[in-house]
Amino acid sequence: ELLPPGYNHLLCVKEDEFRAHLKVQLSTKEEVEKWLEEFQNSSTLTWRKARTYPESARYNVYRVDLRCQHKTYSSGKNSRNTNCPATLFLVLKRSMEDRRSRSTDRHMAEGYLLYVNWRNEHNHSLAGADALRKRDVSAITIERLTELFEKGHSPSSALDTIKYDLQEEEGEDYFYAAADRAVCPDLQFCYRLYYKIFQKSYGAPSGEKMVVDLRERLARYNEEHGCVCAQIEQTIDGQQVVAICTPVMQRVHTRVQQSGEMVFVDSSGNCNRKTHRLLLFVTPSAAGGLPLGVLITTSESAATLTAGIALLKRLLPPAAFFGRGDHGPQAFMTGDCSALRQALATVYPGASLMLCTFHLLQAMWRWLWNSHNGIKEEERPQLLNGFRGLVYARTAEELSAAYATLCADPLASKHKNFMKSLLEVYGRRQEWALCLRGNNTNNYVESAVRIVKDKVLHRLKSHNLTQLVDFITTRFEAYYIRRLTDYANNRLINLSAPKCDDVDCQKIVQEDEVNFLVPSASAGGWYHVNTGLSCCTCPVGRTGAPCKHQSAVVQTFGVSETPPLTSTPPLRKLFYEIASGGTAPDDWFVPVEPKSVLDDQRSRGEDAVHTSAGPRTESLEKELDGILGILKKKLQEDTTFLAPLQSFVDNFKKMKSDSAVQSALFSFGKTSCVPTRVHATPRGVLQTNTEVGVQPTAVCLGGRRALGADRPPKSSRRDHPYTKGERAKAEPHSLSHCVQENTSQGKTH
């Protein structure tokens, strides 16, 4: 039962239950090695080499003495040594054709050349979970893991897939299969294999050889695409820079209008084991931030970044930045990194440079918390709030006044270094003051950085520069093709227009064809909406994002100029063309709407009530009068109707728009009074919950819920009785909270 099937075995001597001499019909060393592997699989035994013999022996082709894996040379704390006496001696005899043999063994002539001397006397358990988890991972499992890695799986997701497949194949026997390391490896093995494979595929981790490998890879990539999409260059100071502008990025340059207006740039490190920096160039669009170029450098110095950006500039298509070409975009927005800003100014002198307000405020808070600057703890929030007033000033006059107030503040003027720092920052106000410019944050590029780390690198550090470049040209590109395809097919779920329920639509004033005055929902003022430009003067709309005031105008007036930051057929077609590089039939993007009432015979008969105010309206009015009469009569005769009708009147008064009334009328009498979130529903009753239900036993016996793996309620937290003092307070991550509580900012990365 222990021997592998498919071979001819001959049992020559069986000394007792545990000792035997076998012969197997094999003739080459390779066949013997394969037999041994299959024997280890069929017997669940693992053998190690105890002694080998020279191959050129006179009588033997191959000979090896094997020992059980539980017989090791040393016995440490973690050793698996049990001093197991089991052995397996293999001897492959030379074939009769090669020599003249005087042997009387008649089996040799029949081809039984492998002699097996098996002493199966193990002094440990052979079948338990602990025995099986010590086995070697089988070659088939390694092959399967390798395939999964090549398809983009991370070590953990590959292992999950293996386990899932095993569960499907083994059914009830999965419990036993899962214990066997040969078919179900441990996570650490997966990690080691992952890095070993990529070391092989992507060559040396660094040095000259890596650069040579990378140059060859880039040359092949450019050849495949028929144009120069990526290049590597060595700077004067010996640094490496790699610039990438993939075909999709080139199409974003030439087809997306915003690429000529605003480009966000941010850098990120920690993407691989070396100190490479990754710079992303991103433009905003209706489908979120879209990449315009990627730069990978080995240094953050201004000289290296300048060389890198200049290299990227040479790769860009002639109509880059929506036709502006070498002039670059109208503006770049960056964090407060002087080297990057200096490099951008050198390569694109015509583009204005803006600062992200979030990074600016964060930098100021860190400056205030730097003990070298001598700002007392209680003084920090006041100084930051004064500075925040400058950043968020609504007009140039307000900005000047806020600056004057802060300068006159005795606390600020007390600190000379603060005043010096403030003066320096105020001198660059054109770069950051919201009243002097439009956009206030580079969240688009932050999002793109996250995509690289999450979707491209799967939160793993890349093996080397070659792999990082390979991932950018394959996975990163593929991610944006998928995203744009989803947008083109109207499959992005988070692009719906903002809700405008709290905007008083009745008060909206139309100034001309595209200009509207919309009342503020919270503050008492008015905002100006331009539907042609898709802009609003509110804090959200000012950034170019869709806001509730634009939604209110679209809903109330149904203007034809739909804001570009929503999904329209031409825009979807454009993004399809950027993603694919081809063209799609126009009717693919036509929205699903009822056909014209004039065209549709059936609509003429049935839907006329919705479009004309004919005799049907008169009869409806009569029916409404009748219903109101019935309700009034019920109110007078039956006191139980008093509360429900009062509720109806109250709810009606709360409705602020026609659409809300229409929606309520459509759903009148159709909805159930049963609350949607039922917390204690008995078994057998239909539950309405958004969570995937589990068996009650899953909660009782195990699983994540039962383990309480999530954050426990504060009430349940108990420190050990021997704990001295109070629990250490965690540092908060929110900047606003830090300012409010006057604490330093906790680590977020």
Does residue number 595 form part of the binding site for DNA (CB under 7 A)? no
Give the other-Cβ count within 10 Å of 544's Cβ.
Answer: 20
- Figure out which of the listed residues 58, 714, 720, 724 binds DNA, where binding follows CB under 7 A: 714
Residue 707 binds DNA, judged by CB under 7 A? yes
* Per-residue tokens: 592: 């699903």
| Secondary structure (3-state) at 66 | strand
Rank residues 409 and 731 by Cβ distance to DNA and give the closer one. Answer: 731
If one asks whether residue 79 binds DNA (CB under 7 A), the answer comes out as: yes
Q: Residue 715 interacts with DNA (CB under 7 A)?
A: yes
Among 14, 99, 134, 220, binds DNA (CB under 7 A): 134
C-beta of 5 vs 713, nearer to DNA: 713
Residue from 75, 370, 646, 681 in contact with DNA (CB under 7 A): 75
Which of 724/729 has CB closer to DNA?
729
Q: CB nearer to DNA: give 6 or 76.
A: 76
d(CA 465, CA 243): 12
Contact between 746 and DNA per CB under 7 A = yes
Of 597 and 735, nearer to DNA (C-beta) is 735
Residue 458 interacts with DNA (CB under 7 A): yes or no:
yes
**E strand intervals along 498-552:** 509-510, 515-519, 526-530, 535-536
Select from 385, 392, 341 the least CA-distant residue to 364: 385
**Size, binding site for DNA by CB under 7 A:** 55
User: DSSP class of residue 72?
Assistant: -
* Measured torsion, CA atoms of residues 602, 604, 610, 615, in degrees rounded to the nearest 10: -130
DSSP letter assigned to residue 543: G
Contacts of 359 (CB under 8 A, 6+ apart): 335, 336, 442
Closer to DNA by Cβ: residue 599 or 710: 710
Least gap, CB of 360 to DNA (angstroms): 18
β-bridge pairing 114-119 and 87-93: antiparallel
Q: Which is nearer to DNA, 273 or 327 (CB)?
A: 273
Nearest residue to 94 (alpha-carbon basis) of 64, 59, 63: 59
> Are the C-beta atoms of residues 333 and 281 closer than 8 Å to each other?
no
Per CB under 7 A, 338 contacts DNA: no
Q: Is 124 in the site for DNA (CB under 7 A)?
A: no
Shortest CB 526 distance to DNA, Å: 20
| Residue 42 or 736 with smaller CB distance to DNA | 736
Does residue 410 belong to the site contacting DNA (CB under 7 A)?
Answer: no
Helix, strand or coil, per DSSP, at residue 266: strand
Q: Does 719 bind DNA (CB under 7 A)?
A: no
DSSP three-state, residue 334? strand
Which span (72-80, 165-173, 324-332, 487-495) binds DNA, by CB under 7 A? 72-80
Q: In the sheet where 352-355 sits, what is the strand order? A: 230-234, 240-244, 290-297, 277-283, 262-268, 331-334, 352-355
**Residue 602 binds DNA (CB under 7 A):** no
Q: How far is the CB of 19 from DNA (least distance, A)?
A: 25
Within 516-671, where are the H helices?
548-557, 569-580, 601-606, 608-611, 615-637, 642-654, 658-667
Q: Which two tokens stand for residue 722?
A: 């021997």
Q: According to CB under 7 A, which residues from 253 to 312 bind DNA? A: 273
Between 420 and 459, CB nearer to DNA = 459
Among residues 5, 6, 54, 74, the one that binds DNA under rule CB under 7 A = 74
Separation CA 690–CA 669 (nearest Å): 24
What does the chain come to in residues? 749
**Smallest separation (angstroms) from DNA to the CB of 677:** 6
By CB under 7 A, tell whether 656 contacts DNA.
no
Residue 654 near DNA by CB under 7 A: no
Q: 């009708």: which residue's tokens?
A: 645
State which of positions 142-201 bind DNA (CB under 7 A). 154-156, 186-189, 191-192, 196
CB of 734 to DNA, least distance (A): 2
In 3D, which of 405, 409, 377, 369 has the Cα closest to residue 390?
405
Min CB(410)–DNA separation in Å: 30
Give least dist CB 731 to DNA, A.
Answer: 7
- Of 472 and 484, the one with the shorter C-beta distance to DNA is 472
Instruction: Confirm or reject binding of residue 421 to DNA (CB under 7 A).
Output: no
Of 244-252, 504-512, 645-653, 700-708: span binding DNA (CB under 7 A): 700-708
**Contact pick of 524, 601, 709, 722 for DNA (by CB under 7 A):** 709
Nearer to DNA by C-beta: 376 or 737? Answer: 737
451: which residues sit within 8 A by CB, 6+ positions away? 476, 479
> Alpha-carbon distance 241 to 243, whole Å?
7
Q: Give per-residue burial for 332-367: e unless 16+ CB within 10 Å, then b.
A: bbbbbbebbbbbbbebbeebebbbbbbbbbbebbeb
* C-alpha to C-alpha distance for 514 and 534, rounded to whole angstroms: 9
The footprint of DNA on residues 502-541 (CB under 7 A) is: none
Q: Beta-strand (E) ranges in 32-170?
A: 47-52, 60-68, 87-93, 114-119
Q: Which two tokens stand for residue 498?
A: 């903002």
For residues 334 and 265, the answer to whether their CB atoms sit within 8 Å is yes
With binding defined as CB under 7 A, does residue 496 bind DNA? no
If binding is defined by CB under 7 A, does position 475 make contact with DNA? no
Which CB, 493 or 709, lies closer to DNA? 709
Could you tell me whether strands 290-297 and 240-244 are parallel, antiparallel, or unpaired per DSSP bridges? antiparallel
Query: What is the maximum span of the chain, computed from C-alpha positions, in angstroms?
Result: 123
For DNA, the binding residue among 41, 72, 95, 120 (CB under 7 A) is: 72
712 near DNA, judged by CB under 7 A: yes
Closest distance to DNA from the beta carbon of 453 (Å): 7
Please identify, among the stretches 210-218, 507-515, 572-580, 714-722, the one whose residues bind DNA according to the rule CB under 7 A.
Answer: 714-722
Exactly one of 58, 102, 717, 724 binds DNA (CB under 7 A); that residue is 717
Q: Is 749 in the site for DNA (CB under 7 A)?
A: yes
CA dist 323 and 702 (Å) reads 61
Please state the closest distance from residue 309 (CB atom) to DNA, in A: 27
CB 156 within 8 A of CB 59: no
> Phi and psi (nearest 5°) for 551?
-60, -40
Window 11 to 70, contacts with DNA (CB under 7 A): 48
Rounded to a whole number of angstroms, the minimum distance from the CB of residue 474 to DNA is: 19
Interaction between residue 718 and DNA (CB under 7 A): no
Instruction: By CB under 7 A, name the binding residues for DNA.
Output: 48, 72-81, 134, 136, 154-156, 186-189, 191-192, 196, 273, 454, 458-461, 675-677, 704, 707-715, 717, 729-734, 736-737, 746-749
